Homo-oligomer: A and B are copies of this chain.
C-alpha cells in the first residue's frame, strides 16, 4: 500500500478474480491484457494500469500466467488471512446468507449467528450455531470478531452497529437498507442496498421501453 489505490481499482479486483477463477476452471493457463480485456469488456490499457498498481504480475513478451495472476490478486485482497464474522439477525435473509453464501471464498469464517427468536436460538444452520441475541455483547467480548453481518430489522440496525463497533468489530456488512453514517470511527461499513440496484435497473428498463414507442 504505497500510494493510496483508487476505490475504482479495488472494486474491479473481485471481478478479475472471478473471471480468472472461471478461466482456470476452463483450463486456460495463459492470458494477456488484450485477451482478458476482450473477455471482460475492458481495455488492455486499463488492465495493465490496474495490475501495475500492485507491481505487475506479468512478463514482457509473454503475458500473464492465469494462476499467478489469480494468486496475485487474491493476495492483494488479503485472502490468505481469514477473518471472522458473525451474522446479527437470522431471519430469512440472514439464513439465506448462512446457507448459500460462500464466506470462505471471500476470506471470512462465519463463527456464529444471533437472533431473538427463541425458536431459532440453539439451532444450527450450515455448521453455524444461532445464539441468543441477548448474549451478543458477552460473545463479542470473549471472541475476536472482525466483521458483523447486519441482517436484522432496520430499526435495530444503528444500535447493533454501534454495539459491534464498541466491542472491536472493524467491519460492518450492512443489509438493513438504511445508511449507517454514525460515528463509527475507522470501522469499515459496506452498505448493500438492494433497492438501489433494482431502482437503477428500473430506470434503464423504463428508458428502454420508452424508446420503443
Interface residues of A (CB under 8 A from B): 1, 10-11, 13-15, 17-19, 41, 76-79, 81, 83, 91-93, 95-97, 99-103, 105-108, 146-147, 170-171, 173, 179, 181, 186, 188, 190, 192-210
Contacts and interface: CB of A to CB of B under 8 A. Distances in A.
B173 A11 contact: no
Given A1-B207, A77-B203, A201-B147, A195 B105 contact: yes
Q: In terms of DSSP, what is the predominant structure of the interface of chain A?
A: helix
Copies of this chain, tallied across the complex: 2
Contact of A194 (B95, B192, B202, B205): B192
Contacts of A201: 147, 171, 173, 188, 190
Contacts of A91: 96, 100
A186 B170 contact: no
A106 B193 CA distance: 12
